[in-house]
A and B are shown apart, each in its own frame.
Chain A
């Protein structure tokens, strides 16, 4: 009988928001089709570290396990990404796992992404309909418009673009690439465009579009392949027009 195959993981842990991070190593039995999350689940059932010492299970966020809810972002082997699609077979070992510490770390891999949801409020990322009562069909849209909006609308607020962006940090107020994408999404809808200027104002205020340094990290990191740089370019052009118009109206 061959020896049981195992997986080695080195996890950066932290007991609380103000505690110091530390590393803990784990060895987990290998099975086919495993991802980082199923390795964590194995540790839950047998919370013992590589030294054979009893420890607490790792705390992390996840929900859908199919890369559509955005919960499970973390840094795996140096790269911010979703952990549910991080298949063990595709990862170099020991697998190094850290929290995305552009955000406040609450415990282990759990982070506070509240600023992203606040940003969505700030840029008014919604279609201002009159109400939810029955008002018949919405405006017609071409297949082409729908496909562009659909690409932008896949954003799951996972924060990977924020972690990858050199201009987002605990100190900077940059709303982040995802928020620009959401403005592009709302402004490209026939009803949404009626409030395009308001969103634009929010987007060029403090921490807005001008903070983007065009590193293009976001578009490479986005797990959903959202055309973020294209959205940023579109919004930059719109911002210039907006400023010019404001200047003319002045």
Chain B
């Protein structure tokens, strides 16, 4: 047997897939722009969900499932979400066995805290750097397999395209060594994409700088469906910065943090607690974000007249804060120079996560046979709004199931990638190399980083918290203008060795393509659901829009199709957070 699987991306999803696939016997190659240990997953702070129910609260995987579907405003296909919630306790135990230093109870058991959109202590955590700790544990396991020769890593390599044969089947990838600039093709029997989210399309966000969505966009342009692109999560609490909007995790509120500002009479106003008495500060993110937005932008009641409100931990025991939230306390101190143990933090919403992504079936396969996707780059688990701490879970779970699913697919193949004519691989390599060479001849007047900045400002202003059709329309026109200006770019760096500008220029095009998918998806969805909110259409419209958006690339822009959502397990009901959720824990 010589089954070869390529995994693109070494965040939680990619490493989980690599570990499983190599345990199942495949030969695995991992490609990643950064050393996998530096993947964006390290940024995750708050924790990972699993209904382990160690607090005697009667929590269960079904309750977790119901919270997730309800929190996602019923847009997620239900069976995969249920499978994920069922697997969650086992995943936390597995990560524990790998040595993740999860916080403990006095009895030495795993400790759990509360997160948004639930009434249960369901979130396991390692201080406030849970993503880093989970990623390191998987990185260590994969390094062990690498040392045994079962896994091969290509770090500082960028995925460029899938290699698709005459029958439309994925047979490998093209990729570029970012150090030398060399472009090569690599054969594989199956390819798993685990390339993370596209936050950088919005310029500044809570995401890491490589999260441009470039790989998913390249595949969309090769014929893969991109689903629910318009569902972008804006996190309520981040610290505004010049280069990045740094997250202050929901765990701050999970551990008792309160959000407030001064009311018209200058008195402290805990507006989330007042508006949503049942969940208070722990309403889901879309709800909290819109409330903060309203208070600052509509009511002009931001602190000091600026677009910020307080996130307050100063009433908590400082030692407990260090043990449970040390990571974020340090970030605030380092970047803002103030001590959140003593003074309330100043925060504002920021683009954070994409619920949308590559369309996949229940086996995590895209519409291109042999091409799979897992983690934030696919759309499957979060519907119209992701609950906090569900994404580390979906990334790991997605990886764990995709590795074996890809191998199952390979074992059913009639011919292996070895049987494919070498001209297929040569042509793919040449196409990418020619494109790259052409970029070095760009001698116009535009600067790619400037175009990116403009894209980010337009997207943030018009395609985030509150969306209006006329503004969405104008944004799409602006993106097309930027696409026209792209043709007049200047290649600011012409050395081939470790050139960062040329790959960025290539990614910029992919960002522009995906920005249209996000914008037009939003324009076309005339309702409000989860993170997608239009004052002109304030209600959820199940009759017309209880549907997955699927965007297909065409030379004239995205073509949108709609697919019914599988609601076979929980009947859609109105979503409210001012009163306790009905239903749920009955099963």
Contact = CB atoms under 8 A, between A and B. Distances in A.
Contact of A68 (B35, B43, B179, B499): B43
A153 B136 contact: yes
Nearest to B44: A68
Nearest to A108: B498
Nearest to B499: A59
B94 A16 contact: no
B470 interface: no
B400 A66 contact: no
Interface stretch (B228-236, B237-245, B265-273, B518-526): B237-245
Interface centre among B20, B133, B208 (most CB of A within 10 A): B208
A191 B43 contact: no
Given A71-B38, A120-B143, A186-B99, A33 B497 contact: no
Contacts, number: 194
Given A56-B495, A68-B129, A127 B246 contact: no
A126 B143 contact: yes
B296 interface: no
A63 B143 contact: no
B555 interface: no
A150 B243 contact: no
B454 to A, nearest CB: 11
Contact of A146 (B101, B136, B137, B209): B101
Mostly, the A contact residues are loop
A117 B97 contact: no
Interface in A61-90: 61-71, 84-85, 87
Interface string A9-27: 0000001110000000000
Contact of B90 (A47, A127, A134): A134
A117 B334 CA distance: 28
Interface string A146-187: 110110011011000000000000000000000000000110
Contacts of B495: 15-16, 56, 107
Nearest to A154: B129
B393 to A, nearest CB: 15
Interface stretch (B106-114, B309-317, B355-363): B106-114
Nearest to A152: B101
Contacts of B143: 117, 120-121, 125-126
A50 interface: no
A49 B99 CA distance: 48
Contact of A141 (B108, B400, B500): B108
Contacts of B132: 68, 154, 156
Interface string B455-488: 0000000000000000000000000000000000
Interface centre among A31, A63, A120, A156 (most CB of B within 10 A): A63
B110 A137 contact: yes
B499 to A, nearest CB: 7
A6 interface: no
B126 interface: yes
Given A38-B243, A191-B97, A57 B493 contact: yes
A60 to B, nearest CB: 8
A99 to B, nearest CB: 12
A46 B93 CA distance: 50
Interface centre among A113, A140, A149, A153 (most CB of B within 10 A): A153
Contact of B208 (A63, A121, A138, A186): A63
Contact of A107 (B34, B42, B497): B497
B222 interface: no
Interface string B88-104: 00100110111101111
Interface in B486-524: 492-495, 497-501
Contacts of A242: none
A66 B98 CA distance: 26
Interface in B136-163: 136-137, 140-141, 143-144, 146-147
Given A85-B334, A146-B101, A150-B101, A69 B141 contact: no
Contacts of B562: none
A126 B302 CA distance: 48
B16 to A, nearest CB: 8
Contacts of A154: 129, 132
Interface stretch (B56-64, B65-73, B445-453, B571-579): B445-453
A44 B109 CA distance: 49
Contacts of A146: 101-104
A107 B108 contact: no
Contacts of A52: none
Given A38-B243, A46-B447, A121-B146, A140 B35 contact: no
Contacts of A117: 35, 37, 143
A45 interface: yes
Given A132-B23, A137-B110, A57 B500 contact: yes
Contacts of A67: 331, 334
A137 B497 contact: no
Interface string B303-337: 00000000000000000000100010001001101
Contacts of A129: 97-98, 141
A140 B108 CA distance: 5
Nearest to B45: A68
Contacts of B140: 120, 125-127
A189 B99 contact: yes
Contact of A142 (B104, B242, B337): B104
Contacts of B40: 63-64, 69
Contact of B501 (A57, A66, A191): A57
A37 interface: yes
Contact of B106 (A46, A57, A120, A143): A143
A68 to B, nearest CB: 5
A128 interface: yes
Nearest to B247: A66
Contacts of B136: 153
A226 interface: no
A165 B539 CA distance: 61
A12 to B, nearest CB: 15
Contact of A64 (B104, B137, B208, B499): B208
Closest 7 pairs between A and B when the two form their complex, measured CB to CB? A140-B108, A126-B140, A138-B96, A107-B498, A38-B243, A127-B99, A138-B97
Interface of A: 15-17, 31-35, 37-38, 41, 44-47, 56-57, 59, 61-71, 84-85, 87, 106-108, 110, 113, 117, 120-121, 124-129, 131-132, 134-138, 140-143, 146-147, 149-150, 153-154, 156-157, 185-186, 189, 191-192
19 contacts: A15-B495, A15-B497, A56-B501, A59-B498, A66-B244, A66-B246, A67-B331, A70-B38, A84-B243, A106-B497, A117-B35, A125-B140, A126-B141, A137-B110, A140-B104, A143-B106, A146-B102, A156-B37, A191-B99
Given A34-B242, A38-B242, A67-B331, 6 more contacts: A45-B449, A65-B244, A66-B331, A70-B37, A142-B108, A150-B126
